[in-house]
Amino acid sequence: MARLIDLRMLVEACIDFPDEDIDFLEAADALGKLAHIKQLQQRLFVSAKQGSLLREGVHVVLVGQPNVGKSSLLNQLAGDEIAIVTPIAGTTRDTVREEIDIQGVPFHIIDTAGLRDTSCEVEQIGISRTWNAVEKASLVLLLLDAREGESEADRVILARLPTGLPVVKVFNKIDLLSAPTAESGQDVFVSAKTGAGMDGLRLRLLALAGWEQTGEGAFMARERHLRAMKSAREHIENAETNWRQLEFFAEELKLAQNSLSAITGEFCADDLLGEIFSRFCIGK
């Protein structure tokens, strides 16, 4: 923030007091200062994102047709018998939630009722709750039976998932295949019964969550902090693109600082004017 204020001070002084003969663009190295601010802000954003993951966790919803192994997968991830598992399709009628830890990152795993057409009123309520959980999810694991591959019913489920929501196809029951299957693309192949492929799934969850081992301390950010920093980054990029137009440059720097002020506290126009007078002795 201090570097951004310094840069704003130079720009505003150049605009408001041109008789001071400040060679802003060259002597003050405005673009160099802006590039440094951009670099620092990006590092802070990465740290804040990691901190937000540690603070808020990731909400993962398991969806799929009945009897594809959603509850078994929840139990395998949790390392405990959390959900009831039977060969009877439709055993899970309500959402079952469990928090797990993967490399220090909390994941809130939500098992749901199998998705299918049904006349059972109780099962219909469970399916409705499945879709409600999907609407609040950070990402979705779509479970499929590896023996059958992707069916038309699976494609119907995929089509109904919210646009932009990260989805991983998890082909379960590979222990029942007569021959090993070749993994393709971004799909994951596991056995919720034996645990085969689970390490790969955990790594995929971390990658989708955006977790990075930076070796630096994480800023325990809230979601509003991330929004503020993302907004500041966009304004800094706009300023960099339009640096030749000083008034536009100044406005984008101001908007970037306003975004960061949501985290650090307000810094008003009078504060900036005071900085200009103290640095340049204008009027003395």
Specify the CATH number for the domain of residue 153: 3.40.50.300
Residues 205 and 247 in one domain: no
In a domain, 217, yes or no: no
pTM of the model: 0.62
In a domain, 190, yes or no: yes
Q: What is the pLDDT of residue 223?
A: 61
Mean pLDDT split into 10-residue runs, the chain, 284 residues: 70 62 56 77 66 75 93 91 68 78 88 86 88 92 94 94 94 87 79 94 87 51 67 83 76 82 60 47 47
Q: What is the pLDDT of residue 215?
A: 46
State the Cα–Cα distance between residues 105 and 46, nearest whole angstrom.
15
Plot region of 197 (φ>0 → left; ψ -120 to 50 → alpha; else → beta): left
Residues 69 and 89 in one domain: yes
Q: What is the pLDDT of residue 240?
A: 79
**Is-contact 163 136, C-beta < 8 A?**
no
Residues 191 and 264 in one domain: no
Q: What is the pLDDT of residue 184?
A: 65
Residues 230 and 169 in one domain: no
Residues 66 and 105 in one domain: yes
State the Cα–Cα distance between residues 139 and 201, nearest whole angstrom.
13
Residues 235 and 106 in one domain: no
CATH (domain of 255): 1.20.120.430
Q: What is the pLDDT of residue 122?
A: 85
In a domain, 137, yes or no: yes
In a domain, 138, yes or no: yes
Residues 76 and 130 in one domain: yes
| End position of a domain, from candidates 176, 209, 242 | 209
**Domain range enclosing 268:** 2-52+222-280
Which residue type does 11 have? V
State the Cα–Cα distance between residues 63 and 130, nearest whole angstrom.
8
Residues 255 and 269 in one domain: yes
Residues 62 and 200 in one domain: yes
Residues forming beta bridges with residue 134, ordered by sequence position: none
Q: What is the pLDDT of residue 272?
A: 42
In a domain, 93, yes or no: yes
Closest among 87, 63, 59 to 193, alpha carbons compared: 87
**Is-contact 132 110, C-beta < 8 A?**
no
Residues 43 and 62 in one domain: no
Domains of the chain: total: 2
- Residue 101, helix vs strand vs coil: strand
| End position of a domain, from candidates 153, 188, 209 | 209
Residues 126 and 254 in one domain: no
